[in-house]
Structure 1
Amino acid sequence: MDDSGRRDNTARIHPGGLRWLILTRRNRDRHGYPLLGILVLAVLCAVALPLINALVIYPAYTEIMVGTFEDAARRLAVLTIPPSIKHSRLGPAVLDTPRFLADVYRLETDFGLLRVRVLSPDGKILYSTDLAEIDSFESGPIFTDRVSKGRRYARLGAMRNESAPGPASTVDTVETFVPIMRGDEFLGAFELVFDVTGPKRKLERFNLYATVGSFVISFALLGVVLLLIRQEAAKEHSRLQADKLREDVEQITRHDIKTPLLGVLSGITYLENYTTLDPEQKELLEDMRHAANTGMDLISRSLDLYKMETGAYEYAPADVDILSVCRRVADDLSDLARQKGVTMEVTFGDGPLRREDALPLSVEENLFYAVLANLVKNGIEASEFGDTVSMRGAADGEFSVAVHNRAPVPEAVRAHFFDKYATAGKRTGTGLGTYSARLMVEVMGGRIDMDSSEERGTTVTVALPLRP
């Protein structure tokens, strides 16, 4: 077949007026979809990466930092308790242990703790960096609902540091509660408050750098994509201008070619009417008239196709015996089939198409003839000597005619079988045969399908609605 391709594939066109033009534009612009995808990805990255830093990465690092100080608090609390009371409930007696007081002092000085408190199982504050808190009770939900049940607790916060030289300042802290347990028994708790201003500021600087870096990378990618899209838009604009110029040139050419052809036909008529001709000259003039009329028909058909493309074609269906058109196509192309050594087979329903078979259908006869003749001619030209080209008609809810030949559609154009200028394997092919068939079938309100493979050969099916 002409205008074809090589892997298994089915190309289908549904009726719909100018819908074909929209689909063609979409197919032509499909190569721009990856750029649009990258553009969307760049925008998402520009928005998502800073959000990920703020909502995921920074909280995760903060949690790691808090967990580190929480674990350090647990070890310090365990080491601070004297062995003599290590497995006893914490009470006032803990203050009578000189080693305990010395260890607490080292905690405050060596580790830069802002606050140290020792609590008994009932929440009484046995020791506190703030002497005014001693003998008061810790009754908050953190202590009663969590720490007293043996679970550690740590949180990031801030407090005023009035002990440092100079004016009081606000520092970042990690406040930790460490329960002291003997099996499941709660013996008391330590509260240690660390100054984490330095680590926290480093973490914030890291988060800032990461956020700025993600912004820079995302917007750089966005800029590159926008530049590529701009270049692609410029190319598309050039393509549209070239298409418009080509259409204008084609239209002008069609009009200009008609003038000399009309002159040729007038000259032939003059010679036939006003000169004496021998039989050989008459035959030559008849051939010239046939060639000129064929050229005029081609130009007229080209103009009709242009109107179909632009939606300006005025479809004028009439009642036609569609089977007689099928017979006429077979008769007109029988000489070409014999020259190629190809057998033609025409069937309708379950048997061969007979002369008395008839099926009325409301179509433009010339359009249907042009479609079917083009498909059968392509099938014959694609066949080898001894092959068979078949036309199989059927009427079951709709009229359909399937043109089959044994040659597979060349792979190079199979996916674009009905596209304009798509052709392969024919030296003189223009890529307009199946394209024009597609347009004409659409105008008639039908559909056209193509199925091709190495095993099955190629079948092009035209389906038209029957009269309601």
Structure 2
Amino acid sequence: MPENFDFPDIQERLLKLEEAFADHNSYQFKKILAELRRAAKMRANAAALARAEILDCRKDCERTRKQAVDLQAKLKTVVDRFEGSFTAFEKFRKAIRVVEMMRAHEDLPAILERIKDLFGLRAVSLLLDAGEFAAFDPPGARLAEAKAMRQALSALMPGARLPGPFMCPISAVPDPEFFFGPGFCAERKVLLLGSCFISPLRDKFGPQRLIGILSFFDSNPDRYTSEKGSEFASHFADILGYTIVDITDRKKAERLREDVERMTRHDLKSPLTAVLTLPQLLKRDGNLTERQTDMLSLMQHAGYRMLNMINQSLDLFRMERGVYELTPAKVDLLPILDNIAGELHGVIETSGLTLDVVVRGRPRRPEDAFAVRGEEMLLYTMLSNLIKNALEAAPPGSRVAVTLAEGRSLDVAVANPGAVPAQIRPHFFDKYVTAGKKDGTGLGTYGARLIAETHGAKISMDTSETAGTTVTVSFPKPRVAEKAAAGNASPFASAPPRSATR
């Protein structure tokens, strides 16, 4: 029995018990013994209560421990889900940026491949409405009739009035090859494993109209399940669909504008025929003063100029389409520059400018020649545009130089002291880009680029506030010497030159 008790008077009672035993005092002995028994019983009851409390505490501790373990597991699940959602959000954010960089249907293959790599998918498929997109033949996408797409989505989501995103095992898809392309089910494992996300793409201006279907497939059967949320993927599908619709609408508008421009050019030729014919008839009748004859000549000259401009615009249209058939010949550029200088003589005098021509490092001489292969009328138009732009951009009283140099290529450089505005430098050769001109159309340098590229030449622009602007056209050197003489008859001798301003 331990020496220390919960009841401090037990030791004293034991001493009294010994004294009563020694004194043979039975009454006192029995009394103290009874008290000790009661104390022992009370101590036993207290110990039992303590043991019960300890047992309850242990149970509470175990229950608390289990709750802590469960809470820790739940917290880990929440953290994992949050990290997974954040990672998914970052991936979809990057994917949306990739889609926003799309400028044409031709960008689709690279964008779909980028999405596949970004999300770590086994397959990404894009179906588009054949009735809407067949005319544009978008690469990287398959075409299907809208009715067939609606039927496939209805089979996937029976009873849904307006089917939305669908996440499920691939084995639950009635016709996987419709969504992912022929040969997708060649491996039987595909039918047993993996999961997919399938989302309809709708017109941003008419959500009821189906324009396509975007489908993801992953080998992980737990990646896309009906229990998981699809907000990020659905939002991404919407962004992709809206971008495709915007690009398509822009292409439709461009085609409509081109059709209108083409018809307008064609229709302009009819009244122009009368403008060209009437001066000839009046001259033939005679009885005209010298001044009247000169005025009719000016009228006829302007008519031919307009006809040449219309023909040139039709040529540029063919160049844009890549169907222009170039008929190259050996062309000396110096007579062309003489004609351009004569045409722009008024602009040069009014602004006090100087137009210098430098051939192979020295001022031009009468006997000089600088020949390239091409079509004379197109070369005239290109150089006229570049020189006129340089004269208009040059400060009054300054010098504009046309330098012809021969090295690995035949280079024609047009330089002026003015600088190109910073906002249009990256788009200097783009269509409809202009600055600082009240009546500028933004077609001069664009046409020059098309003509240069049609001739197999390279065109570039360097500009700065200190050095001014230089536009250089580099023609390839002919590999075989031309048999024809450089001094062939020039069409400029019989008809006025064509030109187009930027």
Place the TM-score, normalised by the shorter chain, in its bin.
Answer: 0.5 to 0.7
- Which of 241, 255, 259 lines up with 1:230 in the alignment? 241
Aligned length: 284
- The code of the aligned residue for 2:72 comes to L
Cα deviation, residue 316, structure 1: 0.7
- Residue 344 (structure 1) aligns with: 355
- Residue 311 (structure 2) aligns with: 300
What is the correspondence of 1:113-128 to structure 2 with a 5 Å cutoff? none
What is the correspondence of 1:50-449 to structure 2 with a 5 Å cutoff? 197-212=66-81, 218=89, 219-449=230-460
- Residue 4 (structure 2) aligns with: none
CA distance in 2, matches of 1:318, 1:111: 105
- The code of the aligned residue for 2:400 comes to V
Could you say if the C-alpha distance between residues 401 and 360 of structure 1 is closer, same or farther in structure 2, counting changes exceeding 3 Å?
Answer: closer
- Residue 467 (structure 2) aligns with: 456
Secondary structure of the 1:426 match is coil
CA distance in 1, matches of 2:366, 2:340: 13
Cα deviation, residue 335, structure 1: 3.6
Cα deviation, residue 273, structure 1: 1.2
Cα deviation, residue 262, structure 1: 0.8
CA distance in 2, matches of 1:356, 1:394: 16
Is the Cα contact below 8 Å between 1:315 and 1:364 reproduced in 2?
yes
Secondary structure of the 1:435 match is helix
Higher relative contact order (CA 8 A, sep 6+): 1
Gaps of 5+ in 2: 1-50, 90-229, 480-502
CA distance in 1, matches of 2:82, 2:263: 58
Cα deviation, residue 342, structure 1: 0.5
Is the Cα contact below 8 Å between 1:319 and 1:361 reproduced in 2?
yes
Q: Cα deviation per residue 1:298-327 (whole Å; 9 max; x = unaligned)?
A: 000000000000011001100122333334
Could you say if the C-alpha distance between residues 270 and 331 of structure 1 is closer, same or farther in structure 2, counting changes exceeding 3 Å?
Answer: closer
Cα deviation, residue 212, structure 1: 4.7
Could you say if the C-alpha distance between residues 111 and 325 of structure 1 is closer, same or farther in structure 2, counting changes exceeding 3 Å?
Answer: farther
Gaps of 5+ in 1: 1-104, 113-163, 165-172, 174-193
CA distance in 1, matches of 2:380, 2:424: 25
- The code of the aligned residue for 2:397 comes to G
TM-score, structure 1 normalization: 0.56
Is the Cα contact below 8 Å between 2:348 and 2:391 reproduced in 1?
yes
- The code of the aligned residue for 1:232 comes to T
Secondary structure of the 2:434 match is coil
Q: Which moved more, 1:259-268 or 1:301-310?
A: 259-268
Could you say if the C-alpha distance between residues 466 and 330 of structure 1 is closer, same or farther in structure 2, counting changes exceeding 3 Å?
Answer: farther
- The code of the aligned residue for 2:307 comes to M
Cα deviation, residue 395, structure 1: 0.3
- Residue 77 (structure 1) aligns with: none
Cα deviation, residue 198, structure 1: 3.5
CA distance in 2, matches of 1:259, 1:377: 30
CA distance in 2, matches of 1:268, 1:203: 98
Is the Cα contact below 8 Å between 1:374 and 1:437 reproduced in 2?
yes
Cα deviation, residue 328, structure 1: 3.7
CA distance in 2, matches of 1:251, 1:320: 29
CA distance in 2, matches of 1:199, 1:406: 78
Cα deviation, residue 213, structure 1: 5.0
Is the Cα contact below 8 Å between 1:334 and 1:344 reproduced in 2?
no
Identity in percent: 37
CA distance in 1, matches of 2:268, 2:354: 37
Q: Cα deviation per residue 1:339-377 (whole Å; 9 max; x = unaligned)?
A: 221011111122101110123322212222211111111
Secondary structure of the 2:460 match is strand
Is the Cα contact below 8 Å between 2:370 and 2:404 reproduced in 1?
no
CA distance in 2, matches of 1:359, 1:460: 18
CA distance in 2, matches of 1:214, 1:240: 41
Cα deviation, residue 206, structure 1: 2.2
Q: Cα deviation per residue 1:64-92 (whole Å; 9 max; x = unaligned)?
A: xxxxxxxxxxxxxxxxxxxxxxxxxxxxx
- The code of the aligned residue for 1:209 comes to V
Is the Cα contact below 8 Å between 1:305 and 1:439 reproduced in 2?
yes
Secondary structure of the 1:239 match is helix
CA distance in 1, matches of 2:379, 2:56: 99
- The code of the aligned residue for 2:285 comes to Y
Cα deviation, residue 109, structure 1: 6.4
CA distance in 1, matches of 2:287, 2:342: 34
Could you say if the C-alpha distance between residues 326 and 285 of structure 1 is closer, same or farther in structure 2, counting changes exceeding 3 Å?
Answer: closer
